[in-house]
Amino acid sequence: MCKVSIIMTSYNKPNYVGKAIEAILKQSFKDFELLLMDDNSNEDTQKVIEKYLKDKRIRYFRSDVKNISERTEKNRYAVQINKALSMINGEYISYATDDNIYKPKRLEKMVNFMKNNRKVKICYSSSCVLHLNYEGKLIKNVIRNAKNKLWVASCQVDHCSIMHKADILPIIYEKWHSYWDEDPQFYLIGDARFFWRLNHFWPFYPINEVLDVNYIMETSLHTQIIAEEKSEFIKRLPKQRTCWELRKYLKNLGSDR
């Protein structure tokens, strides 16, 4: 049993995944497990990951997905996260990706916030978003501030910036028969869809401090989807659902929650 279960999804980012793993392993708060969910990445990525697998806190799972048809029939990172959520041991759940870097005291500060606010089920922090070009040079720097309690968190918060209690999971599963929505219509806004589910029951409470850094590159999914020239992967995805419809629905719930 551990205090925090961290779920990291990984796919073909050999230049970043090592930094993401190291940032977690070097956390000031040590009582955690890292479920590293790799979606059958290329050899270069596997070589980087293998360097860290001797750490007993890491539980490594590699999928056997092989082709584009398999990758587009479901939201793959939702599939990977759902698998991990069925195996977690922690009291608290946090998320990471292979291009997201935790600040050294991220877990410590979030766990302390949850301990000091026992009625809170979900918290989120401010985050820094760095947009990089193909050469890896910074082209834009955005700070997502965490100032307000959110009943409409979809598309305002990234899943790498949240922590929630594990005891909310049975409630989500009972209502939707899954945790994250695996429908490929939500490939672009998978975390927003998960937050839509959470906000049916609980608000997100803010920690107004930057506790993670998120890298958005030309190869990132969000960038690929809005690019003029679409990859074969993007062409095979169904029409994507929107933030607007999720947020409108939650706003209409109003005081009914």
- Among the residue ranges 179-183, 228-232, 243-247, 249-253, the one predicted with the least confidence is 228-232
Provide the annotated active-site residues. 191
Q: Where are the alpha helices (DSSP H) in the chain?
A: 17-25, 43-50, 68-73, 76-85, 106-116, 169-176, 190-198, 221-226, 232-236, 243-253
pLDDT value for 135 = 77
DSSP letter at 50? H
Residues 172 and 239: their CA atoms lie apart, in Å, by 25
pTM over 0.85: yes
CATH number of the domain that 18 lies in? Answer: 3.90.550.10
Buried b (16+ CB within 10 A) or exposed e, 142-163: eebebeeebbbbbbbbbbbbbb
User: What is the mean pLDDT of the segment spanning 197-213?
Assistant: 98
Residue 195 has pLDDT above 60, yes or no: yes
Domains contained in the chain, number: 1
Q: What is the pLDDT of residues 56-106, one digit of tens each?
A: 999 999 999 999 999 999 999 999 999 999 999 999 999 999 999 999 999
CA–CA dist 121, 216 (Å, integer): 28
Calculate mean pLDDT across residues 155-184. 98
Q: Comparing 176 with 231, which gets the higher pLDDT?
A: 176
- Rounded to 5 degrees, what angle do the CA atoms 27, 169, 38 make? 55
Average of per-residue pLDDT across 26-54: 98
Report the share of the chain in percent with pLDDT over 70: 94
Which pLDDT belongs to residue 254? 76
Domain that includes residue 188, residue range? 4-256
